Amino acid sequence: MVGINGRVGIVLIDAVDRSDEALSWSFEGGAKQTFAQMRNVVPKVVIMKIVQDDAANTLYSLALAANGTTKTGVYKPRGNAAASVSQPHYTFNVEPSGPTTATIIGGDAAEDATQALTVDVAWQITSWTKVTA
């Protein structure tokens, strides 16, 4: 058995591989108030730390636009091309919104200039489907 690690996973949003734009992604259940919600293990929000890159159609541009337009997404935890029972994919719809951090743009100087500045986002997920084939 090989567990999921943080380097091989791929997230596609709006049909674009976001591997080079995100430092982390976490699909979380969100706030739960009822017993039904407590039993529900379907993610309701994706929390990501993303690179500040204001080119067209980047995650950061989608965050700054925050226009409520739903985007399609695919999460491939193991980065495998085709989904299977042992290595499933997950499809979802997501609503981009603005940064949750105080920082909207900018940040500290870094010694290593390959380290891009980042912001955090928490985008609502409106559907979630496990794909095994």
Partner 1 sequence: MSAPYNQQVELAALLTAAALPTDPEVASRYTPPYRYILGADPWLAAGQTTGQWVGRFRVVCVTAPGTTDVQAAQLANMTRAVILALRGTRFAVQGVAVTQPSEMATGSGTSLGASVNVATPISRAEFEGED
User: What is the binding site for partner 1 (CB under 8 A)?
Assistant: 6-7, 9-10, 17, 19-25, 51, 111-116
Quick one: 54 or 112, whose CB is closer to partner 1?
112
Residue 16's DSSP bridge partners are: 13
Least separation in angstroms between residue 34's CB and partner 1 is: 34
Quick one: 73 or 126, whose CB is closer to partner 1?
73
Least separation in angstroms between residue 18's CB and partner 1 is: 8
Residues whose CB falls within 8 Å of the CB of residue 10, separated by 6 or more in sequence, listed in order: 17, 18, 19, 74, 75, 76, 79
Categorise residue 112: left if φ over 0, alpha if ψ from -120 to 50, beta otherwise. beta
Quick one: 85 or 92, whose CB is closer to partner 1?
92
Least separation in angstroms between residue 81's CB and partner 1 is: 11
Alpha carbon 11 to its chain's center: 6
Quick one: 23 or 38, whose CB is closer to partner 1?
23
CB 109 within 8 A of CB 120: no
